[in-house]
């Protein structure tokens, strides 16, 4: 049953890859916004938002992404919401991404030398002013490389959404492998697709990291 | 609308849950042991530029770190048999975990090896130690100790990631959850309980890894 040509395989995989890219971008942007909220909760002076954010991060980093997706997928129908695989995938990956980004960014804020806090406090700046004018601009510079690095994890995380039936690159690959009986070729191409998406991000993150360390040396 | 939660219907299957937990732990333990072995080989090859292995490990690390674990698993489980290599679901799951963890630990341990002070290697050379001896006694233990926290985190990530092995019918904890919810029709409760179990497993695995680091490595470094 080989009425499926190589071109058909590649074309379908490219279609699937588009959904992978779309889901990655959605999760990264929404997760970034939520991650920012988490960051501010995590470094707040009030202990209540700090503890809540910490618990959130620990739960999402301490459980499998697949389980998170299952809970959203089945939990939604439980409260009467018909949740499509796309919504479940986007929501699940957004929550997952926000937990990691919130934690990465907190590390960046905390790696700003303490003297910067003290110096800006001695200028009678409020907490918000310190953040806005002194801490965040410096933390942002440190944060770029690990943030780009983490985007690779988001792209790879999208593969897990194939299990709840979202048709992206991996799911397309599974269906094609079943239809063509050529799993070696199809999954090889699927892997190549992910590599093409992820490798530039990894390499870019490494360059950014080197630049930061380089510019700090003098 | 009132939904009555029924967690008891999950606990009726506690034997299935225990069995799945043990298999997830076994998978993690075997994957960690051999994954670390691969990581040490890869790290020394790359850090000391042992041709031709350094090239091989560079390509390996980039390929594995830039593709999803699920795709690696499918490639091994569905792809290898078409090349004539017969492989069952457990062999595929273990192989995938070793290959995956090996790539990450190669990079982690390499950082530890490269942080070895030059004077220590020179001192060892002046004692007429061979390269293998220097690596084993002088370089490796402190390198591992330095990066052990990162290794612990990576092992936890791999343990959580092993939940996708359910997709090739390896009967680990997630497979157990899928089985239970197909019997009791309580998907939410089942996944909720199993998610909690993974959370506790993550804490436990991390603690065991930290302890193992102190027992096995910290002592040798003194």
Q: Give whole-number Cα distances, B40 to A83, B24, B31, in Å.
A: 45, 24, 14
What is the tally of structural domains in chain A?
1
Given a contact cutoff of 8 angstroms between Cβ atoms, the answer to whether B54 and B45 are in contact is: yes
Q: Give whole-number Cα distances, A111 to A45, A211, B186, in Å.
A: 17, 17, 46
Indicate which CATH number applies to the domain containing A96: 1.10.3720.10
- Shortest CA gap B211–chain A (Å): 19
Residue from A17, A70, A193 to probe the interface with B (highest B Cβ count within 10 Å) = A70
**Residue A212 pLDDT:** 78
In a domain, A164, yes or no: yes
In a domain, A1, yes or no: no
Range of the domain at A199: 6-212
- Residue B87 pLDDT > 90: yes
**Each residue's pLDDT tens digit, A167-206:** 999 999 999 999 999 999 999 999 999 999 999 999 999 9
Q: Which of A80-84, A196-200, B78-82 has the highest mean pLDDT?
A: A196-200
Rounded to an integer, what distance in angstroms lies between the CA atom of residue B140 and that of residue A2?
53
Does B20 contact chain A (CB < 8 Å)? no
- Residue B144 pLDDT > 90: yes
**Residue A2 pLDDT:** 58
- Shortest CA gap B70–chain A (Å): 7
Average pLDDT in the A143-167 region? 96
**What domains can you pick out in chain B, each with its CATH number?**
8-221 (1.10.3720.10)
In a domain, A217, yes or no: no
- Residue A72 pLDDT > 80: yes
Q: Give whole-number Cα distances, A52 to A43, A48, A139, A196, B51, in Å.
A: 12, 6, 23, 38, 50
In a domain, A218, yes or no: no
Given a contact cutoff of 8 angstroms between Cβ atoms, the answer to whether B94 and B169 are in contact is: no
**Residue A218 pLDDT:** 42
In a domain, A88, yes or no: yes
**Each residue's pLDDT tens digit, A87-130:** 999 999 999 999 999 999 999 999 999 999 999 999 999 988 99
Interchain CB distance below 8 Å, B160 and A65: yes
> What mean pLDDT, rounded, does chain B reach?
95
**Each residue's pLDDT tens digit, B15-48:** 999 999 999 999 999 999 999 999 999 999 999 9
Window 44-83 of B, Cβ < 8 Å to A = 62-63, 65-72, 74-75, 78-83
């Amino acid at each position: 049953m080989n009425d499926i040509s190589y071109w058909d395989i590649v074309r379908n995989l490219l279609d699937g890859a588009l959904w992978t890219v779309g889901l990655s971008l959605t999760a990264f942007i929404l997760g970034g916004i939520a991650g920012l909220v988490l960051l501010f909760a995590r470094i707040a002076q009030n202990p209540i938002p700090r503890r809540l954010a910490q618990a959130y991060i620990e739960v999402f980093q301490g459980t499998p992404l697949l389980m998170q997706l299952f809970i959203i997928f089945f939990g939604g129908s439980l409260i009467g919401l018909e949740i499509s695989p796309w919504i479940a995938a986007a929501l699940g990956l957004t929550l997952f991404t926000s937990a990691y980004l919130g934690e990465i960014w907190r590390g960046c804020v905390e790696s700003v030398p303490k003297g910067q806090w003290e110096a800006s406090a001695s200028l009678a700046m409020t907490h918000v002013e310190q953040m806005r004018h002194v801490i965040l601009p410096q933390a942002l510079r440190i944060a770029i490389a690990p943030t780009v690095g983490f985007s690779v994890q988001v792209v790879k995380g999208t593969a897990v959404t194939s299990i709840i039936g979202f048709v992206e690159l991996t799911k397309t690959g599974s269906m094609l492998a079943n239809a063509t009986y050529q799993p070696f070729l199809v999954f090889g191409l699927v892997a190549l697709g992910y590599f093409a998406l992820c490798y530039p991000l990894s390499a870019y993150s490494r360059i950014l990291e080197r630049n930061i360390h380089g510019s700090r040396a003098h | 609308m009132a939904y009555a939660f029924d967690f008891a219907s999950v606990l009726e299957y506690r034997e299935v849950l225990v069995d799945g937990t043990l298999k997830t732990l076994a998978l993690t333990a075997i994957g960690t042991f051999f994954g670390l072995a691969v990581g040490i080989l890869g790290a020394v090859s790359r850090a000391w530029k042992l041709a031709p292995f350094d090239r091989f490990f560079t390509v390996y690390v980039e390929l594995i770190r830039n593709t999803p674990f699920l795709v690696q698993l499918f490639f091994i489980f569905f792809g290898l048999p078409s090349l004539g290599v017969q492989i069952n679901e457990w062999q595929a799951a273990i192989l995938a975990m070793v290959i995956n963890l090996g790539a990450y630990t190669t990079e982690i341990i390499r950082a530890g090896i490269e942080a070895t002070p030059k004077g220590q290697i020179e001192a060892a050379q002046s004692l007429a130690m061979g390269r293998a001896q220097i690596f084993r006694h002088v370089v490796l233990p402190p390198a591992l100790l330095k990066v052990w926290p990162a290794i612990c985190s990576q092992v936890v990530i791999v343990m959580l990631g092993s939940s996708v092995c359910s997709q090739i019918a390896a009967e680990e904890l997630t497979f157990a959850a899928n089985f239970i919810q197909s019997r009791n029709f309580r998907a939410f409760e089942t996944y909720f309980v199993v998610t909690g179990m993974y959370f506790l497993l993550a804490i436990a695995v991390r603690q065991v890894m930290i302890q193992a680091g102190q027992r096995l490595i910290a002592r040798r470094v003194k």
